């Protein structure tokens, strides 16, 4: 029942606040997202870590004639992502506190987005999952289109069509699985799993390709990433935060929930290809990030690199890799959220994102610089930051899988350090110049957004145990499928 509240409450409020005044709408949206945070934290405390089935579940009939139900629930994997969403949403709304230019529709769209995202992370019905997946695209598209930067029409349309292509492929795969379910067909997740397991190898490969493309475009994995840097750059900061911090987790979650358990034979066969693409993406995106001049674009490329590592870890099909992916998803979400916010703060005051024009911010805005240091260290995975836990587990799993792959993927940390430290040196240290001289330090509400993030980065880095505990049972359950298969092969 809690899950349904988490989805329906923001949806209802989103509809209600359209007609209100912007300041009122902003306040109500923030209050709603805060209530959702409280609800999800309560859910986390009541969550039974030993149970592998979905908890707080509801199953209401929706389109009965086609076997489609409104069936949602959370297991450990879902819960972590729901937590990520509910933690970041108040921050995203708060980040626009001073911005008077946004009408109430803006906040309505953000809440709609939250509803759809939580829906994606908790859906236990294939059709429902698809609907939420698509609905999540609409608000973020309009946020980017209406409040975006230069050339936004063309760039956001490319983004929309690119992701829609993937989604339609996924829809075809889901329909195909639907028709393999026995009796009068159903979209229930367990029935779809069984239908997938029953397929022959070549059919499984077909389903794998269709689903993987959908998720790979969303993440994005090399070479399906071409929409991403432009879209991130052109989007307003809240849009970029939504896209990078939460929305790309939809792709990773899709792989965990709707790809790996559905077509095991094809994953064993073609997983290595996906893994290889992910590792190529890591190196490729890191190298491009090094030569970026635009601060926001640099973060966008670094995001591709980090996501590549997560995706590579998933396809090792080991508990370590999967757990690493879970924790790194949280960490990446928080870090990239803070990173884009810092970029926005600098851009707002200096009107430039060009790294070569910045410099010496440390001298005029020490708080901003210190927050940036912590976030940056989280990004380059320094021990005792959240990034370290995730990347350590992920690289560990890759090393166990193939030593040289682990070595190549490990480049992400080294190259990450190169471009991040270079960014720090160019923007924060050095001589204060004409552009940055008038830069003011963090205001009250900016601190309100950034300090919790800094605390989270460090707390998760020191004590990740409870979070790992939440997803452990679900991950073990998920991968037991593969140990069964390898056991039967032996």
Stretch that binds other proteins, among 150-158, 236-244, 288-296, 358-366 (CB under 8 A): 150-158
Stretch that binds other proteins, among 153-161, 267-275, 309-317, 392-400 (CB under 8 A): 153-161
CB of 92 to other proteins, least distance (A): 21
- Smallest gap, in angstroms, from Cβ of residue 157 to other proteins? 6
**Closest C-alpha to 237, from 91, 111, 354, 114:** 91
Q: Quick one: 131 or 317, whose CB is closer to other proteins?
A: 131
Which two structure tokens, joined as six digits, stand for 145? 């289109």
Taking the complex as a whole, how short is the minimal distance between the CB of residue 244 and other proteins, in angstroms?
Answer: 22
CB of 178 to other proteins, least distance (A): 8
- The set of long-range contacts for 46-50, using a CB threshold of 8 Å and a minimum separation of 24, is 47/74, 47/76, 47/79, 47/470, 49/76, 49/469, 49/470, 49/472, 49/473, 50/473
The encoded tokens of residue 201 equal 């190898």
Among the listed residues 5, 20, 146, 319, the single contact to other proteins using CB under 8 A: 146
Tell the smallest beta-carbon distance from residue 217 to other proteins (Å): 13
Query: Which of residues 1, 42, 157, 462 is near other proteins by CB under 8 A?
Result: 157
Q: Please, which residue, 148 or 406, has the CB nearer to other proteins?
A: 148
Q: Which of 30, 56, 107, 142 binds other proteins (CB under 8 A)?
A: 142
Site string for other proteins, 161-180 (x = CB under 8 A): x--xx--x--xx--xx-xx-
Between the CA atoms of 368, 369, 374 and 375, what dihedral angle is there, to the nearest 10 degrees?
A: 70
Work out the angle at residue 83's Cα, subtended by the Cα atoms of residues 137 and 86, and round it to the nearest 5 degrees: 60
Nearer to other proteins by C-beta: 152 or 257?
152
Residue 145, interface with other proteins (CB under 8 A)? yes
Q: How many helices (H) and strands (E) does the chain have?
A: 20, 2
Nearer to other proteins, 240 or 397 (CB): 240
Binding mask 46-85 for other proteins (x = CB under 8 A): -----------------xxx--------------------
Is the Cβ of residue 149 or residue 466 nearer to other proteins in the bound state? Answer: 149
Residues whose CB is less than 8 angstroms from the CB of residue 480 and which lie 6 or more positions away in sequence, other chains included: none
Between 27 and 176, name the residue whose CB sits nearer to other proteins. Answer: 176
Closest approach of Cβ 169 to other proteins, in Å?
8
- Structure-token match 């598209």, residue found: 141
* Helix (H) or strand (E) run with residue 247 in it: none
Residue (of 326, 74, 379, 357) closest to 371 by Cα position: 379
Q: For other proteins, which is the closer residue by CB, 134 or 294?
A: 134
Residue 445 makes CB contacts below 8 A (sequence gap 6+) with 94, 97, 98
> Which of 3, 55, 95, 105 touches other proteins (CB under 8 A)?
105
Stretch that binds other proteins, among 35-43, 160-168, 285-293, 308-316 (CB under 8 A): 160-168
> Given the complex with other proteins, which of 104 and 331 has the nearer CB atom?
104
Smallest distance from other proteins to CB 13, Å = 17
Q: Omega before 309 cis (within 30°)? A: no
- The region of 148-156, 229-237, 305-313, 358-366 touching other proteins under the rule CB under 8 A is 148-156
Stretch of 140-148, 312-320, 362-370, 391-399 lying at the interface with other proteins (CB under 8 A) = 140-148
Residue-wise DSSP of 68-106: EEEEEEE-HHHHHHHHHHHHHHHHHHHTTTT--S--HHH
Instruction: Between 85 and 163, name the residue whose CB sits nearer to other proteins.
Output: 163
Helix, strand or coil for residue 480? helix
Smallest distance, other proteins to C-beta of residue 123, A: 13
Among 81, 90, 91, CA closest to 44:
81
| Interacting residues with other proteins between 216 and 275 (CB under 8 A) | none
Rounded distance, CA 455 to CA 287, Å? 30
* Count of residues in contact with other proteins, rule CB under 8 A: 27
Nearer to other proteins, 149 or 223 (CB): 149
Q: Residue 205 burial by CB count (10 A; 0-12/13-18/19+): exposed, middle or buried? A: middle
| Min CB(191)–other proteins separation in Å | 16
Residues in the chain: 490
Convert residues 106-135 into a mask of x (bound to other proteins by CB under 8 A) and - (unbound).
------------------------xx--xx
Cβ density class 91-116: b for 16+ within 10 Å, e for less: bbbbbbbeeeebbbbbbbbbbbbbbb
Q: How far is the CB of 65 from other proteins (least distance, A)?
A: 6
Of 349, 351, 377, nearest in space to 446 by CA: 349
- Which lies closer to other proteins via its Cβ, residue 170 or residue 468? 170
Q: Please report the DSSP string for 54-70 in residue order.
A: -EEEEEEEEEGGGTEEE
Question: Can you give the binding site for other proteins, defined by CB under 8 A?
Answer: 63-65, 105, 130-131, 134-135, 138, 142, 145-146, 152-153, 156-157, 160-161, 164-165, 168, 171-172, 175-176, 178-179
């Amino acid at each position: 029942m809690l899950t349904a509240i988490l989805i329906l409450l923001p949806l209802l409020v989103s509809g209600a606040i359209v007609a209100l005044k912007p300041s009122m709408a902003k306040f109500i949206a923030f209050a709603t997202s805060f209530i959702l945070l409280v609800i999800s934290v309560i859910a986390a405390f009541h969550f039974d870590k030993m149970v592998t089935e979905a908890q707080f579940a509801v199953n209401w009939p929706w389109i009965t004639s086609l076997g489609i139900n409104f069936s949602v629930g959370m297991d450990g994997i879902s819960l972590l992502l729901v937590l990520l969403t509910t933690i970041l949403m108040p921050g995203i709304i708060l980040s626009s506190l001073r911005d008077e230019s946004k009408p109430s529709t803006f906040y309505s769209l953000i809440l709609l987005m939250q509803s759809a995202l939580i829906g994606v992370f908790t859906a236990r019905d294939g059709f429902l999952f698809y609907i939420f997946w698509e609905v999540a695209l609409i608000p973020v598209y309009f946020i980017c289109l209406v409040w975006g930067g230069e050339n936004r029409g063309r760039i956001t349309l490319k983004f929309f069509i690119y992701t829609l292509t993937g989604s339609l492929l996924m829809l075809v795969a889901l329909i195909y699985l639907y028709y393999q379910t026995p009796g009068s067909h159903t979209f229930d997740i367990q029935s779809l799993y069984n239908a997938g397991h029953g397929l022959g190898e070549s059919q499984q490969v077909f389903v794998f390709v269709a689903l993987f493309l959908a998720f790979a475009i969303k993440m994005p994995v090399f070479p399906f990433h071409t929409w991403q840097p432009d879209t991130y750059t052109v989007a307003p900061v809240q849009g970029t935060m939504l896209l990078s911090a939460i929305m790309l987790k939809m792709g990773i979650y899709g792989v965990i929930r709707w790809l790996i358990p559905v077509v095991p034979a094809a994953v064993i066969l073609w997983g290595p290809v996906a893994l290889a693409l992910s590792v190529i993406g890591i190196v490729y995106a890191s190298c491009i990030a090094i030569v970026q001049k635009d601060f926001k674009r640099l973060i966008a490329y670094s995001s591709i690199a980090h996501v590549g590592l997560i995706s590579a870890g998933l396809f090792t099909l080991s508990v370590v890799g999967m757990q690493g992916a879970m924790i790194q998803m949280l960490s990446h979400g928080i870090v990239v959220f803070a990173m884009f916010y810092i970029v926005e703060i600098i851009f707002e005051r200096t009107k430039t994102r060009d790294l070569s024009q910045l410099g010496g911010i440390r001298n005029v805005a020490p708080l901003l610089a210190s927050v940036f240091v912590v976030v940056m260290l989280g990004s380059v995975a320094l021990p005792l930051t959240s990034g370290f836990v995730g990347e350590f587990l992920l690289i560990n799993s890759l090393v166990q899988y193939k030593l040289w792959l682990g070595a190549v993927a490990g480049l992400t940390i080294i190259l990450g350090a190169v471009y991040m430290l270079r960014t720090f040196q160019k923007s924060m240290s050095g001589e204060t110049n004409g552009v940055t001289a008038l830069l003011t330090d963090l205001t009250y509400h900016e601190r309100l957004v950034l300090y919790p993030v800094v605390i989270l980065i460090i707390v998760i880095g020191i004590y990740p145990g409870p979070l790992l505990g939440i997803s452990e049972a679900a991950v073990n359950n998920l991968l037991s499928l593969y140990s069964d298969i390898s056991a039967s092969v032996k």
